[in-house]
Amino acid sequence: MLSPYRVLEISSDATQMCGHLFAEMGADVVVVEPPGGSSVRRRPPFAGGVAGPERGLWWRAYNRGKRSVTLDLDEAGGRRELERLVAGAHFLIEGEAPGWLAARGLGYDRLAAINPGIIVASITWFGQTGPKAHYAGADLVAFAASGTLSTWGDRDRPPVGMSIPQAMLHAGADAAAACMAAHWERERSGRGQHLDVSAQVSCTFLGAAHTLTGPWGDRNFERTGSGLKFGPLDLRMIYESKDGYMAGGLFFGSAIGPATRRLMGVVCAEGYCDAATRDKDWVAYTQLLLDGTEPLTELDRVQECIAAYFRAHTVAELYAVAREHDLLFSPVNTPEGLLADHQLEARGFWTRSFDSAWEAPVAYPGPIARFSGYGRAPALSAPRVGEHTAEILGVEVRPHPAGDESLRQPGAN
Amino acid sequence: MDEPLESNGGALVGLKVVDITWALVGPTSTRFLADLGATVVHVETSGYADPARTAPPFKDATPGPERSGGFANFNANKLGLTLNLRNPVGRDVFLRLVRWCDVLVESFTPRVMPSLGLSYEALRVENPSLVMVSTCLHGQTGPDAERAGYGIQGAGQAGFTGFLGWPDRPPALPGAYTDFVASRMASFTLLAALDHRRRTGVGQHVDLSQIESSIHFVAPAILNFTVNGAVAQRTGNRVDGAVPHGVFPCRGEDSWVAIAIETDEQWKALAAAAGRPAWTSDARFATAAARAAHEPALEEEIAAWTRGHTAEAVELALQAAGAPAAAVHHEIDLGGDSQLQHREFWRKASHATLGTVVVEGPRVLFSRTPGAVRRVPTLGGDNSAVLRDLLGLDDAEIADLTIAGALD
C-alpha cells in the first residue's frame, strides 16, 4: 500500500517500530547502519543464546522486510551519501540524541534544503528541546516520567513496569501515524516538516486521561495490582487457574451484569456456590454493596467461590467455558498460548517458518490490519549489515522512480 | 467564541471523518486526526451515550455525563452529533454523512453494522471510495469475532499482562493496554488507506483486530519462545543484563524513583552521585556480573541512599551524572514535570457547560502545521452545525428530523 515511498531509518532502538510499521505496509524501508552494524543487532536475546549480527531476536522481529545500507556518519563521505539518499527519500526516521545529526551538518534545516519534501521524524526519550531533552533514558525511566508507571502494581510494593521493553515501541507507533499525517499535508503543499516524538509523552497515553487528574480536581488514581477498586469495593480481575491465569472478574450494571449471572450459573453448576449466591441481583449489585444491603464480606466470599472454581481448571478449559457461555474472561496468555490460540489460527495470523541458519522454528505476527483491497506476503528475513549498500548507493541515487510528481526536488542529481 | 468548523491550520485540514465509535480505541484514533485539523463528527445516541462519559477523572471528583475528563480527552476537537441509527430518518442522515466523509470509523462487534444495513458493501454504494475502519478486539472474522471484551481481557489475551508483576504474586493489570496500541495502528492504517485511495481512487475496508495489531509489541517474546523455548516471565522491575534496575523508595508517602543502569559508566556515575565511590571498588558491585550476583544486597544499599532524599532530588543528581533515572510521577502530580510543561502537554479547550477545561495536547509536535486544541464536544451540542453547515440541510429539514426522532 505504501510501496511508492522510500523511508530512510537511521537504525536504533528508537526507530525500529516506526520503520517496521512502514515495512509492514509495503514501503521501501532502508536502514542506515554504521559499518559495525546497528546497535539493535546487539540487543539480546539471541538465537540459541549465541550473539551475532544476524542472531538478534529484536533485530529479526522488527527489521524483516527492510534493506540495509552502511554509512559512517562521522565521516564526510558517509554524510554526503546520506544527503544523496535524502534527496530521493520521502521519510527519514532517526532516534539519535537531540543535536547529534545537526552536529554532523545533517539537521532538519539542512535536509529540508536538500529535499523540501522530506518528512523527518525524530524519536527520543524526552523530546528535541526542553529541560530534560538531554536526560539519559531507559524504558523504565520513560514510564516513570510519564505517570503511567505509578498506576501499575500493588499498593504495598513499588510500582512495577513491564518485563519486556515497550516505551520506544509506543513512540514508534506515534511517529508512524504522525508521518502519514504530515504526508497527507505534503501532497497538497509539496513540503515536509520535522516531527518531534517523545517516549515520555507517548507513554502518558497509557494513563487513559488520568494525566488530567490534577487539572480536573479529582483524586489521584491509585494502583490496584491485580484488581480494580470502586470506592470500598475490591474487585479481583486476575484469577489463578491450574496452569496459569485468567483475566476478568465480576461486572455489574444493566449492560454487563448479565455476564456475571452467566458466570455464576457455571460456578454453581460445578458445585462451587449455592443457588442463592448464583441468584444475587448482579445488575444492581454495586448499589447493594455501597448502601450496605450487601456486606462487603459477601463480595469477598463470592470472589473466593469463583477463585476455587478457576483453580480447579486449566486455562484451556476455562477459555472454552468462557466462549460457550459468553463470559467476560480471557486467558492471560503466554507466547505459547498466543501461538495456540484458535481465533488467531482461524485468521491465519501467524507466519511460521524454519530458520536454517538458526536451525530453529520461527513465528512472526501477521498483518497489523487486513484491507479489502490490499495484501502483502509476509517478510521472512531481516537484512545483513550493509547488504544492499551497492545496489542502493551505486544505482538508485535518483529520486525514487515510483514517487509522486509533486515530490520532484529541484537540483537533485 | 467556539467556531468548531474553523480551520486550525493543522496537517489534516480538509479531511472529513465520521466517528461512531465509543470508549477509547476508536475515539482516540480520530482525536489524533481532529487535533491536526480534520473535521471529525463524533456520533452518539442519546439513549446510549458513549461509556467514556463514565471515565474518570471527573470535574471536582463529581461524576456526570458532561463532567468526564476521559470523554473530554478522547474527543477534544470533534463535533458532537446525536443520531438514532435505528430510526429510518436518522439512518438517512447517517447515509448523508457517509456520502460527505472520507473516512468512517466504527468499533462495534462485527455483526452490528450489517444488522443496521450499514455494512461496508452497503455503504460503498453511497460512497464508492469510502475508507471504512472496523476495529474490535478479535477482528471481523473467526470463531471469536463476536466475543465482547474490554481492555482487561484484551491485555491479558494479547500477552501483555503476563509480563507485568512480581514473580511471587499473580500478574498485575496494565490497564486497557491493547486499546493504546490499537489506537495508533488505526490512525496509521486509515491514513495509509487514504493515501492509497488518492493514488488509485479505490476505497478500503480496514479490518483492525486490536489483539492482532498489539501482538506486534511482543514479537521478540514470540520469537524467544519459538527459537529458544523461553517461557515468558514477569520479573518485577529487574531485567537481565542491567543492574541495578528498579524502583526505589524515596522520602515521602508512596514516593519512588526509577533507576536503570545499563553500562559500567552509568554505574560509576550512580556511585559518584550517591556519594558512595566505594561501591565501584566493592567486589560485590564492581562488575556487571558481580552486581547481578549480589542484586538484592545492592538494591538494599541503593534504597538506603534514596530513602533519605526526595525522588526529584535523586533524579536530578543521577541525571546530572549521566545515569538514567526519573521520579515516578503520580498522575495527579504530572503537572510539575518541567519537560511536559515545555512541550505544552496540557491545553485549554472550551466546553459548553464547564467553561474552559484542560485536555492533553497532541503527543507529536509538528514543526510547520501543528494544528491546535480548541474545544470539547457535548452530547448533541453540534447537531445544528453538522446538519446545517456540513450537510446543507435547512431549518425546516432539521425541524422535521427532530420531530421524527432522528436525533435522539
Q: Is pLDDT above 60 for A95?
A: yes
Is B203 in the A-facing interface, judged by CB distances under 8 Å? Answer: yes
Q: Is A238 helix (H, G, I), strand (E, B) or coil?
A: strand
Smallest CA–CA separation between B113 and chain A, in Å?
A: 16
A323 to chain B: which residues are within 8 Å by CB? 143-144, 147
B346 to chain A: which residues are within 8 Å by CB? 211-212, 215
Find the CB nearest B363 among A58, A201, A226: A201
> What are the two backbone dihedrals, phi and then psi, of residue A121, each rounded to the nearest 5 degrees?
-105, 120
Q: Is pLDDT above 70 for A396?
A: no
Interface test with A, best of B16, B268, B339 (most A CBs within 10 A): B339
| A400 band by pLDDT with thresholds 50, 70 and 90 | very low
Averaged pLDDT, A329-336: 96
CA distance B359 to A325: 40
Q: Which residues contact A83 (CB under 8 A, 6 or more apart)?
A: A106, A110, A111, A114
Whether A210 and B161 lie within 8 Å, measured CB to CB: no
Query: Which chain B residue has its CA at the smallest distance from A367's CA?
Result: B213
Average pLDDT over chain A, rounded to whole? 94
pLDDT along chain B (408 residues), means of 10: 81 98 96 98 85 92 94 98 94 97 97 96 98 97 93 95 97 97 98 98 97 98 98 94 96 97 96 95 94 96 98 98 98 96 97 97 97 95 96 95 92
Q: Which residues contact A287 (CB under 8 A, 6 or more apart)?
A: A293
Whether A25 and B192 lie within 8 Å, measured CB to CB: yes
Whether A362 and B166 lie within 8 Å, measured CB to CB: no
B188 to chain A: which residues are within 8 Å by CB? 21, 173, 176-177, 180, 368
| A256 band by pLDDT with thresholds 50, 70 and 90 | confident
By residue count, chain B amounts to 408
Compute how many other C-beta atoms are within 10 angstroms of the C-beta atom of residue A113: 11
Longest CA–CA separation in chain B, Å: 86
Is B59 in the A-facing interface, judged by CB distances under 8 Å? Answer: yes
Q: Is pLDDT above 80 for A397?
A: no
Strand pairing category for A91-94 and A370-371:
unpaired
pLDDT of residue A13: 98
Query: Which chain A residue has its CA at the smallest distance from B23's CA?
Result: A208
CA distance A295 to A288: 8
Whether A368 and B216 lie within 8 Å, measured CB to CB: yes
Q: Measuring CA to CA, which residue among A387, A389, A385, A388 is closest to residue A53?
A: A385
Whether B227 and A198 lie within 8 Å, measured CB to CB: no
pLDDT of residue B408: 85
Find the CB nearest B247 among A131, A159, A197: A159
| A406 band by pLDDT with thresholds 50, 70 and 90 | very low
Share of chain A above pLDDT 90, in %: 93
B169 to chain A: which residues are within 8 Å by CB? 154, 225-226
pLDDT of residue B50: 86
Q: Extract the C-alpha cell encoding B322.
A: 549521566
Residue with cell 532502538: A13
Q: Is B240 helix (H, G, I), strand (E, B) or coil?
A: coil
Whether B228 and A221 lie within 8 Å, measured CB to CB: no
Whether A47 and B227 lie within 8 Å, measured CB to CB: yes
Q: What is the DSSP letter of B313?
A: H
A371 to chain B: which residues are within 8 Å by CB? 189, 193, 204-207
Compute how many other C-beta atoms are within 10 angstroms of the C-beta atom of residue A99: 13
| A408 band by pLDDT with thresholds 50, 70 and 90 | very low
CB B381 within 8 A of CB A170: no
User: Alpha helices, DSSP H only, in A131-255?
Assistant: 139-146, 167-189, 199-204, 213-216
Q: Which residues contact B12 (CB under 8 A, 6 or more apart)?
A: A181, A184, A185, B33, B36, B37, B38, B371
Is B12 in the A-facing interface, judged by CB distances under 8 Å? Answer: yes
Q: Measuring CA to CA, which residue among B342, B382, B377 is closest to residue B359?
A: B377
pLDDT of residue A395: 59
Is B232 in the A-facing interface, judged by CB distances under 8 Å? Answer: yes
Cα A282 to Cα A237, A254, A259, A265, distances in angstroms: 16, 9, 9, 12
Q: Which residue has the higher pLDDT, B3 or A161?
A: A161
Query: Which chain A residue has its CA at the smallest distance from B212's CA?
Result: A368
Whether B222 and A339 lie within 8 Å, measured CB to CB: yes
CB B55 within 8 A of CB B140: no
CA distance A349 to B181: 17
Averaged pLDDT, A342-358: 97
Report the half-sphere exposure of A356 (CA within 13 A, side-chain side): 0
Q: What is the CA radius of gyration of chain A?
A: 26
Report the half-sphere exposure of A140 (CA within 13 A, side-chain side): 30
CA distance A90 to A120: 9
Q: Is pLDDT above 50 for A233?
A: yes
Chain B 329-368, CB below 8 Å of chain A: which residues?
329-335, 337-340, 342-343, 345-346, 357-360, 363-368
CB B69 within 8 A of CB A218: yes
Smallest CA–CA separation between A285 and chain B, in Å?
A: 18
Smallest CA–CA separation between B35 and chain A, in Å?
A: 11
Q: What is the DSSP letter of B379?
A: T
Averaged pLDDT, A361-390: 96
Give catalytic residue positions of B. Answer: 179
List of E strands, B324-374: 325-327, 346-351, 355-360, 365-366
Is B320 in the A-facing interface, judged by CB distances under 8 Å? Answer: no
Interface test with B, best of A24, A185, A326, A350 (most B CBs within 10 A): A185
Smallest CA–CA separation between B346 and chain A, in Å?
A: 8
B359 to chain A: which residues are within 8 Å by CB? 212
Per-residue HEC secondary structure of B147-194 comes to: CCCCHHHHHHHCCCHHHECCCCCCCCCCCCHHHHHHHHHHHHHHHHHH
| A405 band by pLDDT with thresholds 50, 70 and 90 | very low
